[in-house]
Amino acid sequence: MAGLERPQILLASDLAHGDVVFLGASGWERDCHRAKIVYDSDAAAALQAFGQAEIAKNHVVDVYLADVAVDASGAPEPLHYREKIRALGPSVRRDLGKQAWLRRSGDAM
Amino acid sequence: MTAHDPVLPSRPNAGGTTYVYDQFDAAFVRERVAEFREQVERRLAGALTEDEFRPFRLMNGLYLQLHAYMLRIAIPYGTLTARQLRQLAYIADQWDQGYGHFTTRQNLQYNWPKLVDVPDILDALADVDMHAIQTSGNCIRNITADHFAGVAADEIEDPRPTAEFLRQWSSAHSEFSFLPRKFKFAVTGAEHDRAAIMVHDIGLRIVKSPAGEIGYQVAVGGGLGRSPFICKVVREFLPRADLLAYLEAIMRTYNRFGRRDNKFKARIKILVHERGLDEIREAVEAEFAAMDRAPFAYDTQEFVRIAAFFAPPSYAKLPARSASLETAKLENRDFADFVSVNVAEHKIDGYAIVTVSLKPIGGIPGDAASHQMRVLADLAEKFGLGELRVSHAQNIILPHVKKDDLFALWRALDTAGLATANAGLVSDIISCPGLDYCSLATARSIPIAQAISRRFADLERQRRIGELGVKISGCVNACGHHHVGAIGILGLEKKGAESYQITLGGDPTFEASIGELLGPGVSAEQVPEVIEHIVEFYLAERQGDERFIDTWRRIGHQRFKELAWREGEDGSDI
Amino acid sequence: MALISEGAFVEDSWRRLADEEALPKSGKIIVSLSRLHAALQWLGAGSALGVFVPNTTDPAALVGALPRLSLIAIAFPAFADGRGFSLARLLRRAGFTGELRASGRIVADQYLHAVGCGFDRIEIPDDLAERQGEAQWRAALHARSLSYQRGYGAGGSILEQRRRGAK
Ligand code: SF4
């Protein structure tokens, strides 16, 4: 079991709605902070395999792993600016996307 | 069926001069919507895999982007009626987030639709003779045209009948729906190219033969993207009666011989480049000669039927000079500035063409909120014969405004925050959505546009600088047309961060040229400063009222590069 | 492989010969393009000959053989590869009146396009036929009743209908 250079999470797009979703402890989550973090290649492969099965069931599309940093509270933060934007929403419209929804539901931000 | 008498067409859409669907067009679009509704159901049920579904959803304008699906609506030849724009506002409120984004190809994008809602949205579009057909995918895309069509003083012929003729011919084409790559047409009928036809796969220019016959100059193989090319003329004069047959010959040649082994080499521009224009011309002409022409026998009559819809609206007889306009200009500086920058000459005395800028200082280029769309629809009805245009510069045009009404129109626009007097100036920036929305992006483009716009917020300074096209793309696909920006900016990823390459000297008109690279990429924070240096250098060097592009051409790219180099020496990493 | 004709799955009365199989003296045989010449020499007038061709085939290479051919199957290596549509058009224009088959990963949603370009039958792999059963192919044949292109398909274009209406 090889350790990963960086911890990873699995993300995808919901097929019917198009929303970005993150694989959590018990299914897909809309909030990146609830994503399950993996630290070794076997666990990462298991996430990938689950993602492929979910594609086959027509639940999600465009599944991939992304590198994250783990913050003090144990929540994952994507490292690349692309996934950062996906986790929040357009940087030029803070009133739209996940960032707005997270603010409304009092989580994070 | 008297409505389709080629001699006496009816004009049911009196509120604007544009094509009106007949029963066949309407039924065609409804069938497409029903077909897509089925496809969505079959996708959700798994009868279609994502790989199989993708081309069909793309052919209905539906992408999957960074945050959500994105639906791209066609605004063929950029013409909208007030009623259609109101419906676009309604859709934005009903199924999206209350706004839309006008693109560089006379399309409108909604950024948040759900897949399951899209068939309903398409039905709502069909209610007003609109659709999203072929706004994406490897097929013939929405046909674009000069946004001043029918009203420009320099026009040989309104290009919109040609564009509509082509829209119909290219819709759900049995043979050309699975091309090697996307295929874009643009048409102009004017002496000045406002539709960037030379950077399209096919650029059609309406011309008159020495004998006075109207036909087309056909240019092929232009395009931006990873390797930009300017169109080459494949036929100097094509009689109108041959238009569809000839285009079919080009499309067939491309469909058979265009490369399919590498997506970045699949556009017709690469075919023309690799095989050479002469070989392509020979192949096209041979195919054209071999074709059975009987199916095209009635094309001319059909063209006449379509053209009748674009007959000029009934203008009032007015003097060329409006006394009230002149007085208002004297009394109100801001209004006078607006007129000098955003108002263009109309071919009819007493009328003017008004550009409504969707580029407020610090705003998102091309975005319009639903309430703004409604204001524009109302104003179009009140002052503009119910008609609007969408330009590839991501602005809205009111094409028929009485000079006498300009002041009242301006007041209303100003109240709605739509009177920014910057058309064609440095803050009238063309920008693709970039990494704030687009899944292909390598960097953001909107924040760069906003920062430049803020840096040059002073409109008086902008007017001093004069005409200057800044164009920004968020990746090599070049939807923001950066290659043909007098100043072009391309967002890339460099060592895990956003980095911006700057090019100078691009030009989208008949004198088309591709911009040249200034130097290595700079960071997002540095872009506005670099642009400012370039502009200041130009102001110091320009002679008389030379435009930026003219000065650049005269003194040469090297001088600008040297400037960048000098700046780089004192610390900034240009 | 499953064979679709007029919206229904049908039996295939033709046999596609592998290149290493010997040519029979009679029957309905489909050979690859490389064996076409040999097959034309070998087969008697009583047998029916078909040929399986890549979508990059130059129609000129087949023109001489057209009168002797009863079937041409054009390969669709991927459903998004549309070269076969143009090749079908060109073969019809060259006067081919036999059966024209699209063979490969064509999906039901392309059925009308294929018919419009002159194909009669579609031949798809079994895994595809499993996901896209007969009902979907039947429905696909009627997904659209109207088309703008003149000279494609037998249905008559919108233009022709307009002209009839305008009279
Ligand atoms: S240029 Fe690139 S980033 Fe911009 S819209 Fe096109 S594909 Fe997206």
A70-79 pLDDT, tens digit per residue, is 999 999 999 9
Kindly list the partner chains of chain A, i.e. chains with 3 or more CB atom pairs below 8 Å: B
Which residue of chain A comes nearest to B114, CA vs CA?
A17
> Domains in chain A: how many in total?
1
Count residue pairs from B and C with Cβ separation < 8 A: 125
Q: What is the DSSP letter of B513?
A: B
Question: What is the rounded distance in angstroms from the CA atom of residue B458 to the CA atom of residue C89?
Answer: 60
Written as one letter, the residue type at B338 is F
User: What is the Å distance from ligand 1's center to B477 Cα?
Assistant: 6
CB distance C17 to C23 below 8 Å: yes
Distances (CA, A) of B516 to B239, B452, B473: 37, 20, 15
Q: Do B67 and A20 touch (CB under 8 A)?
A: yes
Count residue pairs from A and B with Cβ separation < 8 A: 69
Question: What is the rounded distance in angstroms from the CA atom of residue C1 to the CA atom of residue C12?
Answer: 9
Which residue of chain C comes nearest to B291, CA vs CA?
C93
CB distance B119 to B57 below 8 Å: no
All CATH 3.30.413.10 domain ranges in chain B, comma separated: 159-306, 430-570
Q: Which residue has the tokens 């320009």?
A: B542
Question: What is the rounded distance in angstroms from the CA atom of residue B345 to the CA atom of residue B354?
Answer: 9
Mutate to test the pocket of ligand 1, among B111, B181, B440 (most ligand atoms within 8 A of CB): B440
The answer on pLDDT for C163 being more than 90 is no
Q: Do C85 and B168 touch (CB under 8 A)?
A: no
Q: Do B46 and C81 touch (CB under 8 A)?
A: no
Indicate contact of C with A: 3+ CB pairs under 8 A.
no
For domain B430-570, the CATH superfamily is: Sulfite Reductase Hemoprotein, domain 1 (3.30.413.10)
Question: What is the rounded distance in angstroms from the CA atom of residue B520 to the CA atom of residue C84?
Answer: 45
Q: Do B114 and A16 touch (CB under 8 A)?
A: yes
Cβ of residue C95 closer than 8 Å to a chain B Cβ: no
For the sheet containing B107-110, what is the strand order? B62-64, B69-74, B107-110, B99-102, B367-369
> pLDDT-derived band of residue C166, with 50, 70 and 90 as boundaries?
low
Distance from CA of C96 to the nearest CA of B (A): 15
Cβ of residue B450 closer than 8 Å to a chain A Cβ: yes
User: What is the Å distance from ligand 1's center to B441 Cα?
Assistant: 5
- Positive/negative CA dihedral, B471, B474, B479, B481: positive
Written as one string, the DSSP assignment of C127-150 is HHHHHS-HHHHHHHHTS-S----T
pLDDT, position C24: 87
Contact partners, residue B423, CB within 8 Å, separation at least 6? B341, B342, B355, B357, B393, B395
Question: What is the rounded distance in angstroms from the CA atom of residue B99 to the CA atom of residue B358?
Answer: 12
Q: Do A16 and B46 touch (CB under 8 A)?
A: no
Which CATH code for domain B5-126? Answer: 3.30.70
Question: What is the rounded distance in angstroms from the CA atom of residue B450 to the CA atom of residue A92?
Answer: 9
Written as one string, the DSSP assignment of B179-247 is -SS-B-EEEE-BSS-SS-GGGSSEEEEEEE-TTS-EEEEEEE--B-SSS-B--EEEEEEEEGGGHHHHH
Cβ of residue A32 closer than 8 Å to a chain B Cβ: no
Question: What is the rounded distance in angstroms from the CA atom of residue C1 to the CA atom of residue C127?
Answer: 9
Nearest to B507 by CA among B552, B537, B466: B552
Beta-sheet strands, E only, within B481-522 = 487-494, 497-504, 516-517
User: What is the Å distance from ligand 1's center to B226 Cα?
Assistant: 11
User: What is the Å distance from ligand 1's center to B175 Cα?
Assistant: 28
pLDDT, position B175: 97
Mutate to test the pocket of ligand 1, among B103, B430, B446, B475 (most ligand atoms within 8 A of CB): B475
Residues of B in contact with A62 (CB under 8 A): 64
What is the β-pairing status of strands B396-402 and B387-390? antiparallel
User: B151 in the Ramachandran plot: left (φ > 0), alpha (ψ -120 to 50) or beta?
Assistant: alpha
Give bridge partners of residue A3 from the DSSP assignment: A40
Is the model's pTM score more than 0.90?
A: yes
In B416-547, alpha helices (H): 446-455, 459-465, 527-541
Distances (CA, A) of B43 to B31, B47, B269, B494, C49: 18, 6, 34, 37, 39
pLDDT, position B8: 33
What CATH number does the domain containing C123 carry? 3.20.20
For the sheet containing B351-356, what is the strand order? B79-81, B387-390, B396-402, B351-356, B343-345
Cβ of residue A92 closer than 8 Å to a chain B Cβ: yes
Question: What's the CATH fold of domain B159-306?
Answer: Sulfite Reductase Hemoprotein; domain 1 (3.30.413)
Nearest to B401 by CA among B234, B151, B227, B172: B151
Tell me how long chain C is: 167
Question: What is the rounded distance in angstroms from the CA atom of residue B415 to the CA atom of residue A17?
Answer: 37
Collapsed DSSP state (helix, strand, coil) of residue B553:
helix
Q: Do C149 and B55 touch (CB under 8 A)?
A: no
Best mutation site among B43, B49, B178 for testing chain C: the one with the most C CBs within 10 Å?
A: B178
Collapsed DSSP state (helix, strand, coil) of residue B293:
coil
- Domain span including residue C119: 2-166
Residue B262 phi, psi dihedral angles, 5° rounding: -150, 115
Contact partners, residue B165, CB within 8 Å, separation at least 6? B243, B244, B299, B302, B303, B306
User: B377 in the Ramachandran plot: left (φ > 0), alpha (ψ -120 to 50) or beta?
Assistant: alpha
CB distance B390 to B396 below 8 Å: yes
pLDDT, position B9: 36
Enumerate residues 489 to 548 of chain B having a beta carbon within 8 A of any beta carbon in chain A: 496-498
Written as one letter, the residue type at C113 is H
Q: Which among A62, A80, A96 has the least Cβ separation from residue B64? A: A62
For the sheet containing B487-494, what is the strand order? B430-431, B470-473, B487-494, B497-504, B516-517
For range C39-50, the mean pLDDT: 85
pLDDT, position B565: 59
ipTM for the assembly: 0.96
Which residue of chain C comes nearest to B297, CA vs CA?
C150
> pLDDT tens digits for chain B (574 residues)?
333 333 333 334 445 579 999 999 999 999 999 999 999 999 999 999 999 999 999 999 999 999 999 999 999 999 999 999 999 999 999 999 999 999 999 999 999 999 999 999 999 999 999 999 999 999 999 999 999 999 998 999 999 999 999 999 999 999 999 999 999 999 999 999 999 999 999 999 999 999 999 999 999 999 998 899 999 999 999 999 999 999 999 999 999 999 999 999 999 999 999 999 999 999 999 999 999 999 899 899 999 999 999 999 999 999 999 999 999 999 999 999 999 999 999 999 999 999 999 999 999 999 999 999 999 999 999 999 999 999 999 999 999 999 999 999 999 999 999 999 999 999 999 999 999 999 999 999 999 999 999 999 999 999 999 999 999 999 999 999 999 999 999 999 999 999 999 999 999 988 889 999 999 999 999 999 999 999 999 999 999 999 999 999 999 999 999 886 565 444 444 4
The answer on pLDDT for A50 being more than 70 is yes
Question: What is the rounded distance in angstroms from the CA atom of residue B375 to the CA atom of residue B353?
Answer: 18
User: B404 in the Ramachandran plot: left (φ > 0), alpha (ψ -120 to 50) or beta?
Assistant: alpha
Q: Do A61 and B64 touch (CB under 8 A)?
A: yes
- Alpha-carbon torsion angle B23, B25, B29, B34, nearest 10: 40
CB distance B214 to B156 below 8 Å: yes
Q: Around Cβ B32, how many Cβ atoms within 10 Å?
A: 23
What is the β-pairing status of strands C48-53 and C69-76? parallel
Cβ of residue A19 closer than 8 Å to a chain B Cβ: yes
Nearest to B299 by CA among B253, B247, B250, B251: B247
The answer on pLDDT for A92 being more than 50 is yes
Collapsed DSSP state (helix, strand, coil) of residue B409:
helix
Distances (CA, A) of C56 to C33, C83, C130: 12, 7, 29
CB distance B214 to B208 below 8 Å: yes
Q: Which among A18, A58, A96 has the least Cβ separation from residue B114? A: A18
Question: What is the rounded distance in angstroms from the CA atom of residue C31 to the CA atom of residue C50?
Answer: 6
Question: What is the rounded distance in angstroms from the CA atom of residue B468 to the CA atom of residue B301?
Answer: 43
Question: What is the rounded distance in angstroms from the CA atom of residue B320 to the CA atom of residue C9?
Answer: 71
Residue C63 has, within 13 A of its CA and on its CB side, a CA count of 7
- Domain span including residue A34: 3-105
The ligand 1 site (C-beta within 6 Å) comprises B 432-434, 438, 440-441, 473-475, 477-480
Question: What is the rounded distance in angstroms from the CA atom of residue C146 to the CA atom of residue C161?
Answer: 9
> Domains in chain C: how many in total?
1
Distance from CA of B301 to the nearest CA of C (A): 10
Written as one string, the DSSP assignment of B102-146 is E-TTSEEEES---GGGHHHHHHHHHTTT---TTSSSSSB-PPEE-
Which ligand 1 atom is nearest residue B437's CA? 8
To the question of domain B323-415 being in CATH 1.10.3720.10, the answer is no
Nearest to B475 by CA among B450, B523, B506, B438: B438
pLDDT, position B411: 98
Written as one letter, the residue type at C90 is L
Q: Tens of pLDDT along A53-91?
A: 999 999 999 999 999 999 999 999 999 999 999 999 999
pLDDT, position B420: 98
Q: Which among C131, C132, C149 has the least Cβ separation from residue B173? A: C149
